[in-house]
Structure 1
Amino acid sequence: MRSSFIISLFFIVAHSIQAQTAPKAEDIAAIKGQCGCHDVSFLYAETFASDKGYAFKDRYTAKGTELVFVDEEAGPANRPTKLVIQHLLVVGDSMVIKHWREDWEFQNTSLLKFDQSATWKRAKLTPEQAKGQWTQKVFEVDDSPRYEGSATWVHVDGRTYWESTVDAPLPRREYTKRTDYNVMRRTNHHEIRPDGYIHEQDNDKIIRSEAGDQLLASEKGLNTYQRTDAAKCQAAKVWWAKNRAYWADVRNVWGEVLANRNTVALRGQVKGQVLGRELDELAATTQKATYNSAASRQLIRQTIEKYLK
């Protein structure tokens, strides 16, 4: 009798632990709810500056068509704990550009936090801090790190959203044009809607130095992803089918390179070249004949390591 009671208690506790640590179905549906073929609009406007003499920069607007899809899942089939989401831009009817990538990891306790000058430092969360949370890891077009934030998906009053505040490098729309700040503190708000989703941002442009952080200006951003006819993204699907093996190897090599580093620092250029261009050229070279994953991974690693400080 006593032994059966202990066994029953064990299963109750085990079920309780599992219930506490398994991702919610609503969270997974929200993450996957970002997927589809979208008409996208990008809107940014500076809203505040502490210096009255600051000259506000022109507003930024852009539009495009983007395919967003889950390329990889890990964990139980009905409760994945990691989802790799790839973005591909479609220009015209046939031109495809590999865009950014986001990995979503459940109850992740190890993050790379941006410092400054293309440098990231490893930060740890306790299991208690990470409980129930999802980390969004955002990567550049060449799959190098960009920023990572952890937060809980919220499902309340008919709304579904996720929000975190993290430091990040300058956005691509500004990093070649501005040198008056060196850190963007991003508050990212992802909200799922029936026809797509919005990525709302409240960003602070920070001057970081040994003396501390100084706010240069704040801006508001709104990226709207509205689902459209899937045929508009057919070229992206065809392109990814031809190029997936190579780019999957790139992200896996990056994962191996980053796994055991407490600090990651990247060079912007090596002998006049940039990492993204070199990886694109390598993609074209390695896919001229039958793709050899082992040989390709070796070349990818050699290329990436040239840019690591």
Structure 2
Amino acid sequence: MRFTGIIAPLLLVTSNLFAQTAPKTEDIAAIKGQCGCHDVSFLYAETFSPDKTYTFKDRYTAKGTEWVFVEEESPTKLVIQHLLVVSDSMIVKHWREDWLYQNTSLLKFDQNASWKREKLPASQVKGQWTQKVFEVDDSPRYEGSATWIHADGRHYWESTVDAPLPRREYTKRTDYNVMRRTNHHEIRPDGYIHEQDNDKIIRTEAGDQLLASEKGLNTYKRTDEKECQAAKDWWSKNRAYWADVRTVWNELLPKRDAIAIKGQVKGSVLSRELDGLAATAQKPGYNSATSQQIIRQTIEKFLK
């Protein structure tokens, strides 16, 4: 009994420490739960517009095979890369997502391929993970911070952020310029779902106006790993180059409080130029330092 006054506080401290660290282990398991070779279906449908004269666009559906894997990992950061398998001879470097624990610096999308840096207090992001989503050329797309929830057998993460138009629409539509995305990632035994509730926003100096809302559901269902072997082979040949591209972006982005990217320079787009440079990674004598210098010069041409 004489030790009660000492043991009780120690038990309380131990309990509090466990409460703080245990969810993080579950968080990392959930983030990694997105990995694998997947059959993917993409479904989108516009659901509402405040304008009674608005003509709803056709529903969008697509299917594909995608390899999702951890490319980099540290105790507070996971880099998840997506590769789209079009065929055994055609692999597309798809989007990338970085997950950062208790991150306080985010790029907030404004409009017209421009972002502004947003600083969050540490108290606001305690226990949260930032999902930073990047384009196929590893340029910024959108970033959001939220808490992974593990309850009633479910594991999910959800945030609402502004983003550029999705690739399925940005070359086809000019009637809105911001997509406000509510992204819901939920891990399932056979893969995961990326559910979306999106608002298509017209942003002007006068403010934001809702054009239409849509529902999206991307379902990732694991399939035989052999279906993604071509993607694995492709990445082994191209990994060094894209690691250099990430390195350059990771050096350039933190130095800027605002980012703006030109759509074209002399008729060319950034993704096309970076893809063209990727061929050098497969040549004998590839030099990372030289590659990064060329990559940096290429990216800087497109930064306003």
Q: TM-score, length-normalised on structure 2?
A: 0.94
| 1:127 aligned counterpart, secondary structure | coil
Partner of 1:4: none
Q: 1:59 to 1:47 in 2, by over 3 A?
A: same
Q: Which amino acid is the alignment partner of residue 299 of structure 1?
A: I
- 2:283 alignment partner in structure 1: 288
Report the Cα distance in structure 1 between the residues aligned to 2:90 and 2:131, rounded to whole angstroms.
Answer: 28
Q: Determine which of 127, 134, 137 is the counterpart of 1:132.
A: 127
CA distance in 1: counterparts of 2:36 and 2:197, whole angstroms: 25
Q: Paired residue for 1:216?
A: 211
| 1:100 correspondence with 2:95 | yes
Query: Partner of 1:192 in structure 2?
Result: 187
Question: What pairs with 1:55-204 in structure 2 (closer than 5 Å)?
Answer: 55-74=55-74, 80-204=75-199
User: RMSD value over aligned CA atoms?
Assistant: 2.0
Per the alignment, residue 39 of structure 1 pairs with 39
Partner of 1:264: 259
> Per the alignment, in what secondary structure is the counterpart of residue 172 of structure 2?
coil
Q: Structure 1 pair 18/267, CA: closer, same or farther in 2 (3 Å)?
A: farther
- Of residues 191, 195, 201, the one that matches 1:206 is 201
**Structure 1 unpaired stretches of 5+:** 1-8, 75-79
User: In the alignment, is the contact (CA less than 8 A) between 1:200 and 1:222 conserved in 2?
Assistant: yes
Cα distance change on mapping 1:22 and 1:267 into 2, 3 Å: farther
Secondary structure of the 1:91 match is: strand
* Residue pair 1:21, 1:131 contacting (<8 A) in 2 also: no
Shift in Å, 1:91: 1.1
Question: What SS does the corresponding residue of 1:129 show, helix, strand or coil?
Answer: coil
Alpha-carbon distance change, 237 to 304 in structure 1, aligned in 2, over 3 angstroms: same
> Structure 1, residues 21-48: CA drift from partner, whole Å, max 9, x if none?
7861110000000000000000000000
Report the equivalent of 2:5.
Answer: none
1:133-178, CA deviations, whole angstroms, 9 ceiling, x for partnerless residues? 0000000000000000000000011111000000000000000000
Percent identity (aligned): 80
Relative to the length of structure 1, the TM-score reads 0.92
SS across alignment from 2:210? strand
For residues 105-160 of structure 1, the C-alpha deviation after alignment (integer angstroms, 9 at most, x for no partner) is 00000000000010000001111000000000000000000000000000011111
DSSP 3-state at the match of 2:83:
strand
Q: 1:156 to 1:16 in 2, by over 3 A?
A: closer
2:288 partner amino acid? S
Identify the residue that residue 229 of structure 1 maps to in structure 2: 224
The structure 1 segments of at least 4 consecutive aligned residues displaced by more than 6 Å after TM superposition are: 12-15
Q: How far apart, in 1, do the equivalents of 2:285 and 2:17 lie? A: 47
- Which residue does the alignment assign to 2:272? 277
216, 235, 252: which one aligns with 1:240: 235
Q: Any unmatched runs of 5+ in structure 2?
A: 1-8
Letter in 2 for 1:71: E
Deviations along 1:205-254, one digit per CA (max 9) or x if unpaired, are 00000000000000000000000000000000011011000001101110
Aligned residues: 298
1:286, distance to aligned residue in structure 2 (A): 4.4
Is residue 50–residue 216 contact of structure 1 (8 Å, CA) maintained in 2?
A: yes
Distance in 2 between residues matched to 1:23 and 1:248, nearest whole Å: 30
Give the distance between the partners of 1:18 and 1:296, measured in 2 at CA.
45
TM-superposed CA distance for 1:260, in Å, is: 1.4
Matched letter for residue 61 of structure 1: T
Q: CA separation of 1:226/1:286 partners in 2, compared to 1, >3 Å: closer, same or farther?
A: closer
Q: In structure 1, which of residues 297, 303, 307 is the aligned counterpart of residue 302 of structure 2?
A: 307
Q: Distance in 2 between matches of 1:269 and 1:18?
A: 51
**In structure 1, what is the Cα distance between the partners aligned to 2:235 and 2:14?**
42
Aligned counterpart for 1:255 among listed residues 238, 250, 272: 250
